[in-house]
Structure 1
Amino acid sequence: MGRVTNFNPLCVLLPLFIVLAATATAQANLFLPRPRIGYYGSACWNVESIVRSVVRSNYFANPANAPGILRMHFHDCFVRGCDGSVLLDGPNSERTAIPNLSLRGFNVIEEAKTQLEIACPRTVSCADILALAARDFVVLTGGPWWAVPLGRLDGRVSLASDVDLPGPTDSVAVQKQRFAAKNLNTQDLVVLAAGHTIGTAGCGVFRNRFFNYNNTGSPDPTINPSFVPQIQAQCPLNGNAAARVALDTGSEGQFDTSYLNNLRFGRGVLESDQVLWTNPETRPIVERLLGLRFPFLLFGSEFARSMYKMSLIEVKTGLDGEIRRVCSAVN
């Protein structure tokens, strides 16, 4: 007589159930909204701490990385959306466009990416790293913290010909049009421009405004006369066009409302900044941020809110993008 073996169906069904449950969970995650807060979960639980550590070391090594990365994030989001396309290297990439030639901090993003590829291979996008790094650099300069939604994918296209960014001589009307095209309103425009509180600009970008405004042979009349010789000394007419000047005189590198107060007294370095005070539509917003007009606006809170909105511009999801292994090149 053959041997009888007791068969327990749970031995087959339990492992099968576990596999099916795991598969269902993974598929369900595909349909959850992205980007979102806490997107990576257990797949890369320490993503934010890794980026924050890299940001801290690079900030203390060179504080200029703070405005550099904040500007890079802005330039990324305003061209093809927040997809890390500005990070791609190549002969005709966005990095080669004139407004992007002075971008700095690419090494910071690559360093964070290298560490994340060790901790969580092929999981975290370069676009997400840039968004997190921008937030963390702002915090180190005394600015606000905000929750960054994650789950962006990296774009595969980066063309210099696509780069059409707000310019240093833009009127308020032109700036409003450019921001509205990205679903950002006039208050977002003023608040995000105030990120220049930690920014700098090359002399070649604005020098004519202090010497020969619109070929008049004189400085822009909206500039405070006492401010003109100060900038002229920093940016001589025949001096180095690449020399950089703080956009927030007297409070360089500190996230505060000093930049806005400088506009109030005609000490804006860029024409596109100073018009925010002279224009009747944007001036009340500046006044509210300075506590000069009711209802008041808290600059830190409003900056965080506008940065959150900006970070969601035209994000890539699904088949639109990828998770790059190296931030400077597509897979």
Structure 2
Amino acid sequence: MTLTSRRSLITGAAAVACALPAVAAAATSATTTLAVYLRATPSWSAVRIVVVPAGEDVARTGRTSGAWVEVVWQGRTGWIADDYLRPPATSVPTAPADTRALASTALHRTFTYGDQSSVYHVWADGIDWSTPVGVLFYLDGDYFTRSTSRMHNPTAAPLADVAAEANRRNLVCIAVDTPDVYRSGLGYTWWKDKARTSAYFRAFAAHMNRTYRLAADRQWLYGYSGGAEIITISLMAQEQDAWGFAGGGAVILAGGGVPATYSETRLTPAFRTLRATWVVGSEDTAGETYPQTWSALGAATAGHRFYADRGFTRARLDVLDGLGHHDYDLAAVLRAPLDAAGVTRRR
């Protein structure tokens, strides 16, 4: 699943400081901005009590601890990070149309979650912030060196072309690199340590959704090769609602195989109807990439069948005649699924 993409070695640390619980003057109400865990204590590693869906009203008890707020929801008391809460809808003022445009196109940024960091890029050229704005999260394939990495050349094709296609449809385009370490014989991958890299992506996507206030029903994933693999073996297979998905789709290019483990515990009806489109070349078979025994065509065929058999009603497989692993036009591949979903071009 090796591809042309590249990685920045990022160092740094990010931590959420938790002060000792303090008591506020009075309890007030708030509304969740995304689906979020209610936790037993004010910590990211705390026991998860229950998932509170997006748009739910919770009651603040008045207790806080650093960035955490104690709340009561349906008779259960626990802690939620304050970033996930806003005042009730009736008291939310209308934000100026240009507030989010201040952070329009931003390249070579870093995001840290726990002990993992990676580089990401945001393209938001020409976005109409006065209307609901969606997102296209792009995950690239495996790579060995920076010189072959798309992620360190974001102003050139094909990343710039993918971003332009998304922006024309009022989707913010966000490309994020894998936070994983280099592995001999494999390079940098999304899929080798899927438990950690998928947790990183979920935290990253939730953060981006909060930052840009992106529409939960316009969430798109686009993955190529190793990036396609992490979508189907983890993001579609476990904790499907973790970053607030309520509608959209996935474009799964040159890969996208069967997950080793699969759970429907948090699988919402909306997620089961996401438009999942596998796209792969007829010549994208064993020997085209690393490991050399891996076949993108075989992975895509098996992955599509797996999800279709589990009731994903909009699962589709498109095999492109004569194309191998390095022959795809990423922007062109993206257009057809977005057109079919009615995500129209505005310019």
Determine if the TM-score, normalized by the shorter chain, exceeds 0.5.
no
TM-score (norm 1): 0.26
**Higher fraction of helix:** 1
Structure number with bigger Rg = 1
TM-score when normalising by structure 2: 0.25
Q: With a CA cutoff of 8 Å and minimum separation of 6, indicate the structure with the bigger relative contact order.
A: 1
